[in-house]
Structure 1
Amino acid sequence: MFFRYALPLACVLAGLSACASDNAASATQPTGTTVDGVACSINSSTVNSSPKVNATSTVKWTCSSATRTMTGNGIPDHPVTMGNFATPIRAQNLTINFRFTPTLGAAAVTTMNPAYALNSVKFDPGTAGTCTSNATSVNPGGGCVAAMGTDPWRLEAIGGAFQFGTDESNAHVQPNGQYHYHGLPEAYLTKLNKGQAMTLVGFAVDGFPVYARYGYVAATNASSGIKSVTSSYRLKTTPDTGRPSVTIFPMGTFTQDYTYAAGSGDLDECNGRTGVTPEYPAGIYHYYITSTYPYVQRCVKGTV
């Protein structure tokens, strides 16, 4: 893989830094409107006094001719007031390298961690929760587990019967304290304050950009208007054979409850499409975070 974790980060805030000291700051917004100016000079330190955080979010993005590099601690730079986290949010030591000039590969590649936000928070749409085929309850002893599951029916973090304690940004915390988004990062979008517009929120591990909720009506026409783009995944009309009871576990509880129907929405199987964006006016393949499954893409189209 082209991205990697590195040794602990020593944060240096200087030069083109855009630092902030409160939760309303928007230092992680990208700068520039051309390819060579996108998210190449972000250097932010944001004190997050939210009750569930109480830490400083640090992140820096730089670019070379071949590599876009993010270093950060994974601490959210926006309010976190809700959520039932199993472990406290803790700083991480992250250095992630992305291809500066991404290229589409021959086939989609499934990945557990498909992208990182501009504030260094990871996008991690799946879960490690599973249920047995004869599960009878989401409660302990009912045949389901929230973590390290090995049973066949994989639980979704959003929209199902099992509660994963996600907050107002569809995020929660892994056992190591890493805060991560499972869907639309609502508080981060509020902070970026772009309104009903295409909003760059991060980069996928293959180097292609990631946008949230809104895209152009016509992918190749920036003057065509704005809409909430739709995924091409749909709930199955009939549950799979051997699935636990739909009375106990409504459709949408499990990953297997969804099927890809090409052309039924705006996006492909990786929740992406090719078109123009504010940061890439000449056009580029890019991903979307949507309000419905898969929320965050579960695969990438580029070479990693």
Structure 2
Amino acid sequence: MNTVHKRSLLAVWISVWMLSACGGSGSGDDSSTQVQSSSPSGEVSGSSSGSATVSDSTTDNTGDSSTGSDDSGSEAPELNTDTGTALTSDSTDGVLCDYFYNEFNDSASVQMTSNADWSCTGTTRQLTANGIPDHQTGTFPNPGNPNTISETAVSVSYTLTPEQSDTVSTLGGPRGATGYVLNGVKIDANTAGSCDDSGNSCSLVGNTGNWHIEALGQTSFDFGTDDNNAHVQPNGSYHYHGMPEGFIAMRGGSESSMTLIGWAADGFPIYARYGFSDAQDAGSALKVMTGSYQLVQNVSSSRPATSVYALGTFAQDWEYVAGSGDLDECNGRYGVTPEFPQGIYHYYATDTYPYFQRCVKGQL
């Protein structure tokens, strides 16, 4: 499988109601909890069981997959990983403006051609894709996710001249993808799962309860994600909730380099895991970037019992604490990168919450 970049340095889910017979109990002492499965953007998934195993992803994000076996250890294809350098300081033009991929994915649950075509025209960066991943995936359908990967038409336009603002725009689910990875697969880190205050009534669809279930980093609900922290919505859309490990490997991502993996809805770039220890010094050592979210210290009295659902199960269990990590509330920061030596605001996929940005800081 080969990815081709056509430019050089200057110039790249019926709510398939899965009454998931998740019917699991929220905990050992509450076997009456009924869980239906599906997720925010209409994703369906898994089961819930109080004693349970976690699958890490949904419309949210975490790491490994529970039910889908992942063959991502297969031999990596040869790639041209040249990304280019910004032509001017106020534009992303010149960076991956001619990224093109069109190869058959022989992963057992895919067996289709993955196509993604990014181009830059005037002041716009355009993506046309079919939503099929270009790397090995876990098994779909699986016990936690009953959906089959299929093509979904992707056509989006992002600005080439993004502007950072003081306004934070929350995206995901019906509000739209927070961005796309270069392979044309969308980023959607939240879920539509929720529980009522008692924790006795939980559903992985509808977001009708007050407590919003996280897809990753918890062990009570199974969303059937694979080792790429991704799974499939009812409409067949494969999407990421966290670090897209298979794609990063294909791009040659490692601790020795920053890896640009996609573009956010506001036009700013998204990197994976590593960034410069000094945001303004490209000569500084690379380090693993961490999000600035921490588990709440004062637990609401209306929250389902922590003895049943451990802290970290719900989105409300996390709070942004400026300075506690490397990044801001949207998992981004301003600084230099290999493609933008004069500095640019940019986002990160991280191993820590929120895993992928849930909001954007640029004008939309």
Query: TM (normalized to structure 1)?
Result: 0.88
Within 2, Cα distance between the matches of 1:45 and 1:68? 19
Consecutive unaligned residues of structure 1, counting only runs of 5 or more, are 1-12, 137-142
**1:132-152, CA deviations, whole angstroms, 9 ceiling, x for partnerless residues?**
11124xxxxxx1111223111
In structure 2, give the amino acid aligned to 1:147: V
What residue in structure 1 maps to residue 43 of structure 2?
none
- Structure 1 residue aligned with 2:198: 134
Indicate the SS of the match to 1:51: coil
User: Within 2, Cα distance between the matches of 1:178 and 1:230?
Assistant: 28
Matched, 1:123 2:182: no
Q: Runs of at least 4 residues of structure 1 off by over 6 A?
A: none
Partner of 1:109, secondary structure, is strand
Name which of 101, 105, 108 aligns with 1:48.
Answer: 105
CA contact (8 A) 2:293 2:318 kept: yes
Which of 1 and 2 has higher RCO (CA within 8 Å, sep 6+)? 2
SS for the counterpart of 1:224 is coil
Partner of 1:195: 254
1:109 equivalenced with 2:169 (yes/no): yes
SS in 1 for 2:157: strand
Q: Which residue of 2 aligns with 1:289?
A: 349
Deviations 1:24-66 (A, max 9, x none): 3365845313343211111211211111111110010100120
Q: 1-side partners of 2:82 and 2:263: how far apart?
A: 11
Q: Mind listing any 5+ residue stretches in structure 2 that lack a counterpart?
A: 9-73, 88-92
Q: Do the aligned residues in 2 keep the contact of 1:52 with 1:80 (CA within 8 Å)?
A: yes
| Structure (1/2) with the larger strand percentage | 1
Structure 1 position 24 matched with structure 2 position 81: no
Moved more, 113-122 or 144-153: 144-153
* Partner AA of 2:325 in structure 1: G
CA shift digits 1:170-198 (9 cap, x unpaired): 00011111000000011111111131121
Partner of 1:5 in structure 2? none
* 2:229 counterpart residue number: 170
1:57–1:28 CA distance, 2 compared to 1 (3 A): farther
In structure 2, the CA distance between the partners of 1:239 and 1:203, relative to structure 1 (3 Å rule), is: same
Residue 120 of structure 1 and its aligned partner are, at CA, apart by 0.4
Identity percentage over the alignment?
46
Q: Is contact 1:30–1:42 with CA below 8 Å preserved after alignment?
A: no
Matches of 1:222 and 1:15 in 2, distance apart? 24
Q: What does 1:208-219 correspond to in 2, within 5 Å?
A: 208-219=268-279
Determine if contact 1:27/1:42 at 8 Å carries over to the other structure.
no
Deviation at 1:159, TM superposition (A): 1.0
Cα deviation, residue 23, structure 1:
7.4
Aligned position for 2:127: 70
Contact 1:159/1:253 (CA < 8 Å) preserved in 2? yes
Is the 1:209–1:287 contact (alpha carbons within 8 Å) kept by the matching residues of 2?
yes
Instruction: Indicate the residue corresponding to 2:207 in structure 1.
Output: 149
Structure 2 CA distance for aligned equivalents of residues 246 and 26 of structure 1: 48
Query: For residue 192 of structure 1, what is the amino acid of its counterpart?
Result: R
**Corresponding position of 1:181:** 240
Q: How many residue pairs end up in the alignment?
A: 283
Structure-2 separation of matches of 1:131 and 1:262: 28
Question: Would the alpha carbon gap of residues 297 and 191 (structure 1) be closer, same or farther in structure 2, given more than 3 Å must change?
Answer: same
